[in-house]
Amino acid sequence: MKKHSIVLWLMVAMLVTGVALAGAQPKVRLVLKDLDTDPNAAQFIQLIEKGMAAAGTPVKIEIVKVPSGNYAEKISLMIMSGDIPDIIYFQGGDDKIAMQNLLEDLRPYVAKSKYIKNVLDPHSKTRLESYPYLVWVAPPRVRAPVIRKDWFDTLPSAKAVATNPTVDTYYALFKDLVQKKGAKFGISITGATNGVEELDSIFDGAFGITSTWMKGADGQWVYCRVTPNEKQKLEFYAKLYKEGLLDPEYLTKKWDTKEQVFYEGKAGIIAGVAPGSIDVYANKMMKTQNTTLVPLPPPAGKAQGLGPFVDVIKESRGFAIPVTSKVKDAAFAVLDFMWSPAGLKIAKLGIPGLHYIEEPNRYVLTDKYAEWYNGWFGDSFNGFVPDKPLSRPIMTEAAVEAGKLAVKYMMPDKTFLIPEQYIANWDAMTNLYKEYNADIVTGKKPISAFDEFVQKWYSAGGTELTKYAQTKLK
């Protein structure tokens, strides 16, 4: 009987231990754009789980699949249907979810964090205080234009842009890229979802457009897209389009096709987020054309800057934790771990044996490293100090230089969150702008139609919102 009792006691103890271990390893469901289709996702997550277990915070991470289509829309539909992951990466649409009190205030989590609080840039800390539902560790998301180095080295007009960037020197460069280098057009942009935003990131400042809301001659705040500055800029864009210097298919171009025409030599210039996207472009250009890239400064004019405007009100993308999650602490622990030395090694170096080889005294980055996206949890390299030397720098020289340009020429925004009572009007006003913008640039409407747009914009709610702006901006 005594022997049987001991056996029974051991069985119970093992069962209790198993339950305890299961309880100590919560399941965290993660949704992150494009991760579910990445061929290295499973290995990536396994490395994170192993690293967190070693750090004493074991978790089981499940990647949530996202239906094909617009990511922001699919995430909103997923949440509203009741399928709510524990960590949600938003790339738009989060404000409408936050207004329904469905997202956790992340300030207490960041304050208690071991790592994230130390790597947030000042603009991100300000955003978190203003809008505490998203956290994203990254430098200002600013775009920089880039050109192939072999073309840069042989075009005097490219050197002119580098030393004397103006709207005119850019125009001359676009023409030379087509006439002397055989490019089909001077510049390609992704217009399928954001209109001419990538073109704006280069030229807004030169035409005196420096923030979402600007002070007019009368001292009153005015929305930048209804100003005479915007009209002059669109007239220039229409000229580029008419002369074949702007990609004629820009309205349907997506990011992958935009990049492809650049690698193929059909586009002379594209703009990319600095430094992360520029690093990807440089590596792929080296692989396809055996040349690197040269980032270019923005044209000087009425002002000089790179966009988009840096919003200090809220993050435009980032991670959220829903209030419905039953594993909030574990969910945030995943984010915090990714900014620990062990997490950064995984995120920034990639998969061992594939993207890098560990030797006794160094890490050797392989040819496959160029294909690794090291910004899954944020684009910043703040705090990343590898425990061994690297065989070569992680980022290309082009990316480093683009990052310097982004910091030097970023334009801090002057804006505010649109109040709920104006959101429907604001959406309609934004669509109105995109419609007239596209029609004017492509020549379907003359530049004089801009004045008609301005009147319609004010009638659609712009008058009330402009009055509201006077009370919010100083």
Whether the pLDDT of residue 3 is over 50: the answer is: no
Q: For the residues of 353-364, what is the DSSP string, one character each?
A: TTTEEEETTEEE
| Residue 346 domain flag | yes
CA distance 110 to 126: 13
CA distance 245 to 355: 38
Q: Hey, how many other C-beta atoms are within 10 angstroms of the C-beta on 288?
A: 13
| Residue 364 domain flag | yes
| Residue 32 domain flag | yes
Query: Is the same domain home to 425 and 333?
Result: no
Average pLDDT for the chain: 92
Domain containing residue 472: 418-474
Query: Is the same domain home to 340 and 422?
Result: no
pLDDT tens string 68-92 = 999 999 999 999 999 999 999 999 9
Query: Is the same domain home to 349 and 452?
Result: no
The runs of H, that is alpha helices, within 243-352 are 255-263, 276-289, 328-337, 341-349
CA distance 146 to 123: 25
Minimal CA–CA distance to 61: which of 39, 83, 79, 44? Answer: 44
Q: For the residues of 401-425, what is the DSSP string, one character each?
A: HHHHHHHHHEEE----PPPGGGHHH
Among 356, 371, 386, the domain-final residue is 371
Query: Is the same domain home to 133 and 32?
Result: yes
pLDDT-derived band at 1 (thresholds 50, 70, 90) equals very low
pLDDT tens string 262-276 = 999 999 999 999 988
Q: Are 215 and 222 in contact (CB under 8 A)?
A: yes
Whether the pLDDT of residue 288 is over 80: the answer is: yes
| Residue 156 domain flag | no
Range scoring the smallest mean pLDDT among 19-23, 159-163, 262-266: 19-23
Residue that the structure tokens 């842009």 belong to: 161
| Residue 319 domain flag | yes
Q: What is the CATH number of the domain that holds 39?
A: 3.40.190.10
pLDDT tens string 367-411 = 999 889 888 999 877 678 899 999 998 889 999 999 999 989 999
| Residue 341 domain flag | yes
- Written as one letter, the residue type at 469 is A
The runs of H, that is alpha helices, within 25-166 are 41-54, 71-80, 94-98, 107-112, 116-119, 122-130, 149-154, 156-163
pLDDT tens string 201-221 = 999 999 999 999 999 989 999
Minimal CA–CA distance to 437: which of 423, 457, 466, 464? Answer: 457
| Residue 149 domain flag | no
| Residue 68 domain flag | yes
Among 371, 404, 436, the domain-final residue is 371
Q: For the residues of 74-85, what is the DSSP string, one character each?
A: HHHHHHHTT---
Strands 362-365 and 356-359: antiparallel
Whether the pLDDT of residue 18 is over 60: the answer is: no
pLDDT tens string 111-148 = 999 999 999 988 899 999 999 999 999 888 899 999 99
What is the rounded average pLDDT of the residues 443-452? Answer: 98
Which pLDDT belongs to residue 103?
98
Query: Is the same domain home to 52 and 133?
Result: yes
- Give the count of domains, the chain: 2
